[in-house]
Amino acid sequence: MLMGAIEKPWLSEKDKMASLSHWVVYFIALLGIAGGAIRCYFAWKTTLRLGNLCLVMEDNFDTFDTENTWTHEVSMSGFGNQEFEMTTNSANNSYVRDGRLYIVPTLTSDVIGTSAMIGQPPFVYNITGCTDSNATNCGAVSNSSSKAVIPPVMSARIHTRGHYSIQYGRVEISAKLPRGDWLWPALWMLPVSEKYGPWPRSGEIDIMEARGNSPDYKAQGVDYGRGSLNWGPFSWLNGVSKTFGWWTNRRKTFADDFHTYVVEWNAEFMRIYVDSRLTYMMYLRFNEPFFKRGGFPTTVANGSSYMTTPDPWDSGTKNVAPFDQPFYLIMNVAVGGTNGWFPDGVGDKPWLDGSLTATSDFAYAQSQWASTWPENPEDRALVVDSVKMWQLC
């Protein structure tokens, strides 16, 4: 049986262009690898670091230490945002279970009834264990004829003031966020003393703020976390719009699992991120004074006259003030409010920020928003697995 000729391509002349194309591909690939390595190196080299850190506080919530670590704020004040919750020290709203802290919003009507909450007939409610220095924030009277209501939600707000604070360092919080319309979980810091004056002159560090609304909510729902700094010469002249950012969880929400929320800062920079430094919400170098950074107007109205806009931080550490002082940690779940955190006209919002009856409008819409809250209280809670604070040594 005769066989055909066997091809022997190795004996034929090579295609020079084919060989060249192979080498070009290899060269470009190696160039890309080298370029990536160089970029990574310089990114690592230029990334600012804190230096040596000393652990100040670590709480894994084996117990709920309200004597030496945490303090409840118990108030009906609305905390400057005209929030719709009262904060309590009740075990219904904050407790530790299986090594985790739960901060849980509950319905006031479950405690006193809907009729009492909306004032049919008028009802007086005084909050137990009130810590507010203003006695008028320790109680409320409902009256349906004037649309005055008892705050429709009970929640909790705890802080480390008087126990733990840091000036420069790192705070790390492992937490799972609550789900439910108009819930406002927050992990944040305030100065121990108002060194430069009342808020926001002495600063505020928001490690994480979020909204419990679903991902369909057009103003960033529970799949977004936001970090920011509040600072300014007046409450109505705040530079927060120049120092904020966010990170979104594209695959899931921040209510589906635990994430680590971190702030790192020293005299050179501040970085706020979730899980990794690569997924930062805000990264700020202290390379100019905050008064200059704010671009505030040179004059502001003062009654019927005008005054030069004051620089509250002129006496502070250059470029860092007001964040050159000790700050303590706060954790809470707020509900609603009239400061714009929940924009008007977005997501069937049942109140208007400028309305004099915003709280009662929210209370009367309870059937609408309460139905979005999980029945299991622990699914609508801010669940905290651990808190750690380090001070720059």
Segment 262-299, tens digit of pLDDT: 999 999 999 999 999 999 999 999 999 999 999 999 99
Q: What is the mean pLDDT of residues 143-150?
A: 96
* Percent of the chain residues past pLDDT 90, beyond the cut: 85
Q: Report the C-alpha dihedral over residues 22, 26, 27, 31, rounded to 10 degrees.
A: 150
CA distance 352 to 180: 19
* pLDDT at 4 > cutoff 90: no
Active-site annotation holder among 83, 85, 204, 264: 204
Per-domain residue ranges for the chain? 48-392
pLDDT in tens, 79-132: 999 999 999 999 999 999 999 999 999 999 999 999 999 999 999 999 999 999
CATH fold of 48-392, please? Jelly Rolls (2.60.120)
* pLDDT at 371 > cutoff 70: yes
**Pick from 2-16, 39-53, 318-332: least confident:** 2-16
Residue 290 host element (H or E) = helix 290-294
**Pick from 7-11, 34-38, 190-194, 222-226: least confident:** 7-11
pLDDT recorded at residue 13 = 64
Residue 28 corresponds to which amino acid? I
pLDDT recorded at residue 120 = 96
Q: How confident is the model at residue 8 (pLDDT cuts 50, 70, 90)?
A: low
**Pick from 14-23, 50-59, 173-182: least confident:** 14-23
End-to-end C-alpha distance for the chain, whole angstroms: 89
**What number of CA atoms fall less than 13 Å from residue 185's CA on the CB side?**
29
Q: How confident is the model at residue 329 (pLDDT cuts 50, 70, 90)?
A: very high
CA distance 277 to 246: 13
Q: How confident is the model at residue 75 (pLDDT cuts 50, 70, 90)?
A: very high
Q: How confident is the model at residue 347 (pLDDT cuts 50, 70, 90)?
A: very high
Q: Is 209 a catalytic residue?
A: yes
SS3 letters across 194-225: CCCCCCCCCCEEEEEECCCCCCCCCCCCCCEE
SS3 letters across 128-165: CCCCCCCHHHHEEEEECCCCECCCCEEECEEECCCCCC
Q: How confident is the model at residue 12 (pLDDT cuts 50, 70, 90)?
A: low
Residue 23 host element (H or E) = helix 16-46
Whether the Cβ atoms of residue 243 and residue 231 lie closer than 8 Å to each other: yes
pLDDT recorded at residue 216 = 96
Q: What is the largest CA-CA distance in the chain?
A: 115
Report pTM: 0.89
Q: What is the mean pLDDT of the chain?
A: 93
Active-site annotation holder among 209, 268, 375, 378: 209
Q: Is 67 a catalytic residue?
A: no
* Percent of the chain residues past pLDDT 70, beyond the cut: 93
pLDDT recorded at residue 355 = 97
Q: How confident is the model at residue 44 (pLDDT cuts 50, 70, 90)?
A: low
pLDDT recorded at residue 5 = 64
* pLDDT at 134 > cutoff 90: yes
